[in-house]
Each structure stands twice: as C-alpha cells, then as structure tokens.
Amino acid sequence: MNWLDPTSGELDSKRHMTHACVTALRPVGYDLIERHAPVAIPSPMPTGLSRTRRLVTAGYGIEPCDLPSFDPADPEASRVDPRRWFGEPGRRLEIEIGSGKGTLLVREAADRPLVNFLGIEQAGAFYRYAADRVRRHGLDNARLLHADAVDFLRFRCPDAIAAVVHLYFSDPWPKKRHHKRRVVQDRGLAEIHRVLTRGGELRLVTDHGDLWAWYEDHAERHRHLFERRPFRGGDGELVGTNYERKFAREGRPFFAMTLRKPG
C-alpha cells in the first residue's frame, strides 16, 4: 500500500491519511493495536522474530498516522523533516532503507552516538520488532519509520537532509515483471540525490548477481548525478546486517559500491 503516493488515484480515507490509524495499515493476520501501548504480536510471525516478547514502539517508532496529512494541492507544504524526530536535530543524519530486524541501526547507533539514524521499514512486524529493539538498547539517536521508503523520500523528505543512505541486501525481485519494484530506479536515484547533502553517499550492497548488474547499469546511466567509488563503510563495518552474518558463514560473495553526490 503506497498511501504516501498522491498520484495513485485512490486517495480515499484509508490511503489519504490524516491523524487516525486504520486497520488497512496493519498486515493481514495481526490485531489492530494501540501504538503507544505495549504490544504482544500474535502468530503468524516472520521467521526469526519473537512470538512472545511484548513489543513497545513508543518514543522510537513513527507510524503513518503520526505524519500530517498530504495536500496534493501543495505537496511542498506536506514535507516532513525527520531530523526533528531526534532530541538533537542538528546532528548528522543517516537513513537506512529496509531496516529488517534493526541489526545495523542498533550497532551503528551505539558505536556512533553523535550521529542520528533513521531506519525505514515497510513490513509491520519487522518495524515493530526493530523499534522495540532500539528502545530496549536505549538508543536515543535512532528512530524507525513504518513506511514505503521510496514514497517517503519522494513525497515527504525535504532537500539535502541526509549524509548517507544505506541500502543493503534489498529484495532483488528477480522476476522481470517485478523489476519495477526494486528500490533503485531512475526516479528513485534522482530522489535520493535530492535528499542527500553535498558530498553525501548512497551505499549499496547485495549478494544477488542480477541485482548487482542492475545497480551497475543505473550507476552508469546516472554519472551526471553520482560519482561511483569503492564501497566505504564505517569503522569495522561491512554492513552489519543479519544477511551479512548469514552469507559470510555460507561463504557467499558480496557486491558493493558507493555513489557519491558531488560537492
């Protein structure tokens, strides 16, 4: 559900959100819950997530209903500066697209307390798990947003707010008819470029050969926007995700690059 997309032609009460959470924003199979109360997520749960831990997102998770309504007549006025979600909004901001269980956020936010980290996760169960995990670690410099990252960047984010955008082990959508669902697209790269500060970086890592070829093709086509450089993570970092750990154990290779916005 891309409710943030005002061009979808379906701006009804469930898609054109104001300040009320509705059942349509919850995955099928989950109870409608009050976000600011402790939550026990019932089965079915994605593999690897706790079925019994009470998940609390208050103070660390941002839901679609927490955002102001989108005004198609004045889209610029509908932009939201996520830096204001942090206690120290003037700090450097890094964004992770597809945070999963929050492994990267937890490690990087703990190692670099003077940097703010925003993770964007569309899957409700993973968003709640990651937000609760950040809360349990007491990481005041990390937040989770429950949204489609591409739509949020395009329709909500103001210009030049992020120093780094991390995109690690994104869903490769291997079938050709699904390639349009990949995060890296011509329009998507233009929006990431807009959101990055001068000298900002888009860091890409995948283990999927066809998706890597897709990245290389798009990087070549957008040389007017980005300088391609070797991948450069943080100190001691490849990416620090659960995928990295799993694939390293299996001896599977990674492909990685950094696309830098000139400036």
Helix-helix angle 124-136:103-111, to 10 degrees:
30
Q: Which residues contact 216 (CB under 8 A, 6 or more apart)?
A: 257
12 tagged catalytic: no
For 159, the 3-state DSSP assignment is coil
Quick one: which of 193, 182, 194, 191 has its CA closest to 226? 193
CB-based contact 139:112 (threshold 8 Å):
no
| Tokens read off for 21 | 């959470």
Q: Which residues contact 251 (CB under 8 A, 6 or more apart)?
A: none
| Conformational region of residue 157, where left means phi above 0, alpha means psi within -120 to 50, and beta covers everything else | beta
Choice among 171, 186, 210, 217 that is catalytic: 171
CB-based contact 155:195 (threshold 8 Å):
no
- Catalytic positions are 171
